[in-house]
Amino acid sequence: MSRAAVLTGLGTFVPPRVVTNEELARTLDTSDEWIRTRTGITQRYWAEPGTATGDLAVAAGERALKSADSGGVDLVVLATTTPDHPCPATAPEVASRLGLENVAAYDIAAVCSGFVYGLASAAGAIAAGIAERALVIGAETYSTILDPDDRTTSVIFGDGAGAVVLRAGDPAEPGALLGYDLGSDGSLKDLILVPGGGSRQRAAGTAGAGEPGPRPADSYFSMQGQPVFRHAVTRMAASSQAMLDRAGWAPETVDWFVGHQANVRILHAVADQLGMARERTVVHLDRVGNTSAASIPLALADAVTGGLIAPGDRVLMSAFGGGVTWGSTALVWPGVVAN
């Protein structure tokens, strides 16, 4: 019998510091109205100095394990754009801090699509018999890579973490992930970019003759808003439709669309292209901003806790991120309570 990855636990965490639009407007050329009308965001959470992505990931992971009533897992997958260090990966330390000794653990770098990529990776390990249970975490501290003088990025992104526990199970049972649609287009890599920190730009003192050394601005995140908007809508809609075809679902039979929480206008545009009612779109970014790889599990948990998503509901998830990358998956929601 084929093995499916079944969602059995869900946990989230955001840092305590709330950053409102009004606070940002005091130092940037912007206003609460400008931010809300263009993004739908009213506030976000930023980690205090000394708090790293791994700290948020551990907190969300603990809650997901508690939600699953699980003693442990044998695989940890961490999706993040903001690892604690360029080397080593953050996932092994997260696993260790969670008391998960000697388990497989690795990071995935697919930016805002990272959580969906992480689900697919963990599900593949479960299907192959490599793992029986997996912890998939999306965690970000975007506040550590934002240019404080750039209103186009500083007003959008927030910090947070969300995690799920997957177990081996039957493809027909509630909670089973029903398949995936994944894709990328590296020719568009410059749309979403942190220029520094990799081998394309050597560290100070190692650059060869004629090669530029690192510049402080190269450590900041940059994004070309208009083309990102356009490609996000197109790719998420196409990927979502491909996933619906794979699951055998008509758009009108989907109870909830949980898209990457980048911009409320993107979410509504994708729903429109799919022929779904906008009212069936889960919106959580208004309170947390764009949390990149953490956004889908954070939105899921909020919708479950708020009573929107109920057991038996059909849930479609889709994301678009840097790379560029995109991906979608779907499931019938099980009786999982978010922690």
> Choosing from 231, 263, 268, 290, which is the catalytic residue?
290
User: What angle (nearest 5°) sits at the alpha carbon of residue 139, between those of residues 242 and 286?
Assistant: 75
> Taking the CA of residue 241 as centre, how many other CA atoms within 13 Å lie in the half-sphere pointing to its CB?
12
DSSP H or E stretch at residue 5: strand 4-13
> Choosing from 21, 231, 260, 284, which is the catalytic residue?
260
Query: What are the residues whose beta carbons fall under 8 Å from the beta carbon of 274, sequence distance 6 or more?
Result: 237, 240, 241, 244, 251, 257
339 a catalytic residue: no
CA distance 212 to 222: 19
21 a catalytic residue: no
3-state helix, strand and coil shares in percent for the chain, rounded to the nearest 5: 35, 25, 40
Task: Yes or no: say if 296 and 115 are a contact pair by the CB < 8 Å rule.
Answer: yes
Query: Whose structure tokens read 């479960």?
Result: 126
> Choosing from 21, 112, 263, 339, which is the catalytic residue?
112
| Residue 103: C-alpha distances to residues 160, 244, 249 (Å) | 24, 34, 36
Length of the chain: 339
The helix/strand/coil state of 11 is: strand
Q: Are strands 325-332 and 159-169 parallel, antiparallel or unpaired?
A: unpaired
CA distance 174 to 162: 21
290 a catalytic residue: yes
- Residue 193 bridge partners (DSSP): 222
Structure tokens at 198: 């990799």
- Give the catalytic positions in this structure: 112, 260, 290
